[in-house]
Structure 1
Amino acid sequence: MHCTDKTKHKFQDQKGVKILVDARKGKDKEFQALFKQYWPLVRRLWQEYYVADLELDDWHQEAEIVLVRVLKGYRGGSMIKFAGFYKQSLINRLLDLYRARQACKRIPASQLSSLGDEDANLLVDGHHDRPEDIVYCQKCLAAFMQRCSNFERQVIILLHQGASIAEIEEKLGCDERKIRSALTRSRRKLIAELRQKY
């Protein structure tokens, strides 16, 4: 990198850190400027991580709340690290919202009844699946695994076999961050594959 490029980058980072500090102090103008800077990221994550009934306007508000929390919790002095911290916090919030919506769909225990013998047989017998559904799933999985890198495939296979993150770390000789990054990339690839029309 050329010397003038380094100076320019350093200046931009210092300017960004100043906005960050002012936004942390509660200055609305700086907060909005900071949020506007990350809006493309906020919108992209909303598109990648589908959460039922989560409108973009609602996600906008959620992302602002996450930014307030991140500003309070972040103690570093680098905009690059701050961006990574904010991104991960946004992903965590999306996953929380997804889990909350899934929990709402669960049937209350009072409305559950035991299965009869006939119902139990239907659940055990896989032949009741429609052939076209089985073919579709197999095609999606095959295409998804081709999209993944060798490392991503190893992580997915071990996770599918019931290994914990710690066990995968030990088996593959890498840190948790690398494994979680691989899972995030894999999730995106799977979503992209499922959106394809066969």
Structure 2
Amino acid sequence: MEENETILLRAPEELVGLIKEGETVYFEELFTRFLPLVKKMNAKYYLRFMEQDDFWQEARIVLHKAVVAYDPEKGLQFSGFFKLMLEHHVYSLIRKETALKRKIDKGAVSLDQLMENEAGSHANRAINGSTMHQVSPEDVVQVRESATGYFDGLSRFEQDVFRLYLLGKEFPMIAEELDCEMTQIKNAFDRCKQKMKRLLN
């Protein structure tokens, strides 16, 4: 108990020094010390594609880099140094997401176009497998009337996957653009198909 109390009283700079000496057991203590800052950053900056656990993992990576790069002789406290590095990393993530959002928005396709051009045929083939199927005028009207409800029924991630697919992009390219696993893309697209089928039935 006394040893734990002593650890909790150590300054961040001391913990950093111990970690640099190979006492990596103190890394979790250091991260716990800065957890309130990490939570505050997570709440302050909205990252569309990142869950809390993912954000914390990013913060751990930044903390490790901060420990390696920290030089106490430059006169900056470690807390301020880590905060600057974490903010810079978060801004980089935001810029990445903003660029991705612009790319997706630029290529957004309306459901009217979906049913009236090649994108409509592309999506329809996906829904019906390899069997070619001509979309009837009644289907077009039904989808137009339900367009808002359909997209509202998709998660943000599903919307992004669906729109990129409508642009003719294959799953590997979508996975690369959204920076995620191909399994996530396939699962999201399967959910889109099921929701579209329910809409047309």
User: Normalising to structure 1: TM-score of the pair?
Assistant: 0.44
Larger radius of gyration: 2
User: Normalising to structure 2: TM-score of the pair?
Assistant: 0.43
